Every structure is written in structure tokens, then in C-alpha cells.
Amino acid sequence: MEPRPDTQSDTRGRALRTPRAAGTAGIVFALLLAAAIVMIRLAIPSGPGSGAGEWLTDPSRRRAVRTALELVPFAGISFLWFMGAVRARIGDAEDKFLATVFLGSGLIFVATLFGAAAAAGGLLSTVPASGAEPGGQLWTFGGHFTYGMLTTYAMRMAAVFVFSTSGIGHRLGVLPRPLTVLGALVGLTLLFATNVVAWSELVFPVWALAVGVHILVAGTADPPGRR
């Protein structure tokens, strides 16, 4: 008689490997989003009120903006895997209320991030081939719309995501205390500072990087609900 495969051990192995692989996705998301933010911040003056300015006449800056926009879809895909990593780490012990806020804020964040990137890409396509500064109400509306989608909506949904993740992690003990404190500080920054303080949105990928590294390192431990 052939020996029966240890299905319980195989399932357990898959459960342990999934958080580690998805934790890597969290790190990838953090690096991609940070790179996109840095490239856009370096290429474009802060705020929509500054106008198109010199960056449109500089081919290297236009290429940097296009590259940053091309990174956004991959960052969003990685973020979805990152959400799966956090849920896998939590296990069956998740709180339904916080889990609903967690999923809703994460999905809305991705949707608004994609919307802002699409609006910016469409706005960039209206620039003449010569790189001359476009004028009129279209550019003004597009600039304010893109900036508002990113700093007012996407980053505030990111704040809710950070708060809910930190709350779940603190309640179930799956995140160490320093990460929950960091999450509270990052959430407050995203909630109140991103539309007034330049570069403050970088705190979100920094937090995601820290959580992704923690999930990757702690992936061999049994999450709550699986012991």
C-alpha cells in the first residue's frame, strides 16, 4: 500500500508560505509607490496652483512623470497582494467590523490611486509635442482634480487602511507594539498633513515597507486562529 500524503502538513506549508510571499509583495508595493512619488515630486512643483511651469519644457522631467505613472498599476497590484498578506497573517480571528473597514479602505485607496494616475496621464497627453505650456480651464481643472484625488482621497483612504490594520494587529497581537504606534502616527500624518506638507505622503510606503518586512520575517510563526 502506498503511503498516504500528509495533506495536513501540505496545507500548513502552503499557509506558511503565502504570508511570506505576499509580505514580499508588500515590500515591492512600498518601493514602487515611493519611487513614483519621488519622481513626481522631483519633476513637478508642489500643488496644482503652481501651473505647468518649467517641467513641461524639460523632456527628462516629462519622461520621469510618465515613468512614475507606469509604475502605479504595478504598485496597486502589489498592494492587493499586500492586503492578502495581512489577512492571511490575521487568520480566522479577525474582527468583522475592522476587517470590513480594512478591505473597504484598501480597495478605495487602489481605485482612487488608479483614478489619479489615469487623470494625470490624460492630462499629460494634452501637452503639445513641443512641450509648450498648455493653458485654459482644462489644464486647471485637470491639475486640481488629479491633485485632489491623490492627496485628499487616496491618502485619506490610506490613513483609514493604516488605522484599521494597526487596530487589528494590536487587538490580535500579530503586529508588535512599535508597528502599531508607527501606524497611528502614519495614519494621523496621512489624514491631516498630505495636502499641506510636501513629501508627507511618503510615510505610507515607509509604513507598508515596515509591515511587509515584519510579515516576511515572522512568516514561519503560526498566526492567530491557526494554532
| More confidently predicted of 181 and 12 | 181
Mean pLDDT computed over 215-227: 59
For residue 124, the model assigns a pLDDT of: 81
Nearest to 52 by CA among 116, 115, 126: 126
> Can you tell me the distance from the alpha carbon of 20 to that of 26, in angstroms, rounded to the nearest whole number?
10
pTM: 0.83
Domain ranges of the chain: 13-217
- Angle, helices 203-217 vs 177-192, to 10°: value is 160
> Can you tell me the distance from the alpha carbon of 94 to that of 91, in angstroms, rounded to the nearest whole number?
6
Mean pLDDT computed over 127-131: 61
Nearest to 82 by CA among 215, 179, 184: 215
Q: What is the pLDDT of residues 147-162, one digit of tens each?
A: 889 888 999 999 999 9
Mean pLDDT computed over 128-154: 75
- Name the average pLDDT for the chain: 80
Checking if the pLDDT of 142 tops 90, the result is no
- Burial track 93-106 (b if 16+ CB lie within 10 A, e otherwise): ebeeebeebbeebb
DSSP structural state of residue 200: G
Query: Does an H or E element contain 150, and which?
Result: none
For residue 95, the model assigns a pLDDT of: 73
Q: What is the pLDDT of residues 63-115, one digit of tens each?
A: 888 999 999 999 999 999 888 877 776 766 667 788 889 999 999 999 999 99
